[in-house]
Structure 1
Amino acid sequence: MGRPRRIVLLRHGESEGNNDDSLYERVPDHALRLTPRGRRQAAAAGEELRAVFGEERVSAYVSPYRRTHETFGELRLAPSRVRVREEPRLREQDWGNWQDPDEVRRQKAARNAYGHFFYRFSQGESGADVYDRVGAFLESLWRSFREDDHPQNVLLVTHGLTMRLFCMRWMHWSVAEFESLSNPGNGETRTLLLGSDGRYHLDRPFERWCVPESYEMLWAGGAAGGDGRR
């Protein structure tokens, strides 16, 4: 099995929608472009990644959104060392079609109260739905590792929530752990590094905005016989 040395997750650069959410009324989410600042963020990420990858080969998967394609283009990776595929399962959480910004703001506030994993946008997906399709992609990714000559690096150009859910699925985080973490900034990366123990480790944590709730005490209290065992 040709497991890669590193799996790099990159959030797209700043998009037009990050700057002006009124655009969702007239521009499809998937068609939003990078801002000039977003292009600079992507170019800076590319400079860092070229230094990390060096002469090694890269297997890249890119969300089908315009802003992720533009981000990948700004990376300026050597075409001779990169095989790239569009991967729809790495797309943004679906919020619906043409969107009313006021309604989106209302639903985002409701999601903050209800929980990002379970809350379902009225015409779109929940975080749990994204988790399921990320899990399906992971199965495909693992099958690709069976290639003896699989590239030493995997690069996923995707979205903030998708990055967190990918790591949740890979690292077997609880829902509470996921809920306690923030998205990375535009143009930021997180990398799963293959350690000497044969396991992947996250190079740096996601920013934590609260202490995750633990259900261990609930499990212990409900254990048969009350002996505290799970």
Structure 2
Amino acid sequence: MARPRRIVLIRHGESEGNADDTVYEREPDHALRLTATGRKQAEEAGVRMRRLFGQERVSAYVSPYRRTHETFHRLGLDPSLVRVREEPRLREQDWGNWQDREDVRLQKAYRDAYGHFFYRFAQGESGADVYDRVGAFLESLYRSFEKPDHPPNVLIVTHGLTMRLFCMRWFHWTVAEFESLSNPGNADSRTLMLGDDGKYRLDRPFERWCTPEPYDLTH
């Protein structure tokens, strides 16, 4: 099994929706573009990615949203070294169709109170639903490692919540641990590094906004 030395998760750059939440009333979430700031963020992230990967091969998976596609292309990776695939299971948490700004703000407040993992948007998904499809993607990713010529790097261009849920699934974090973490910033990344002991570790932790409540599963 040719496990990669690095699995890099990167969030898309700033999108039109990050800059102005009224755009969700007029444009589908999946169709939103990067802003000028987001394009610059992606290009700056590309400098870091090219330095990290060097001349090594990369297997890339990109969420089907326009802003993740644009982020990937702005990274400026050498196409001769990168095998890229669109991966629908890495998409953003679905809100469901066009959105009313005031309703979205109300639902976000409800989600903050109820919990990001379990709260289900009225016409969309819960965090738990995203966790399930990320888990299905991981099964496919593990199978790809069985190929002896698998590239030494994996790059996943996705969304903030999906990044946290990917790590939750990979490292077997509890729901309480997941709930205590903040999303990374736009075009921010986290890298799972393969150690000499065969285990992956994050290059740096996610920021915490609270201390997770401990659970004792032995009783």
State the shift of 1:215 in Å.
1.5
Provide runs of 4+ in structure 1 moved above 3 Å. none
Secondary structure of 1:85 counterpart: strand
The residue aligned with 2:88 is 88
Task: State the distance in 2 between where 1:125 and 1:101 align.
Answer: 18
The aligned amino acid for 1:17 is G
The residue aligned with 1:65 is 65
Task: State the distance in 2 between where 1:192 and 1:215 align.
Answer: 26
String of CA shifts for 1:43-81, please: whole Å, max 9, x gaps. 000000000000000000000000000000100000000
The residue aligned with 2:212 is 212
The residue aligned with 1:228 is none
The residue aligned with 1:202 is 202
Secondary structure of 1:110 counterpart: helix
Task: Tell me the percent identity.
Answer: 77
The residue aligned with 2:48 is 48
Question: Radius of gyration: which is bigger?
Answer: 1
Task: State the distance in 2 between where 1:21 and 1:201 align.
Answer: 35
Aligned length: 219
Q: How does 1:7-156 map to 2 (within 5 A)?
A: 7-156=7-156
Secondary structure of 2:98 counterpart: coil
String of CA shifts for 1:185-205, please: whole Å, max 9, x gaps. 000000000000001000000
Secondary structure of 1:79 counterpart: coil
The aligned amino acid for 1:197 is D
The residue aligned with 1:226 is none
Task: State the distance in 1 between where 2:45 and 2:144 align.
Answer: 25
TM-score (norm 2): 0.99
The aligned amino acid for 2:11 is R
Task: State the distance in 2 between where 1:113 and 1:173 align.
Answer: 21
TM-score (norm 1): 0.94
Aligned-residue RMSD, C-alpha:
0.6
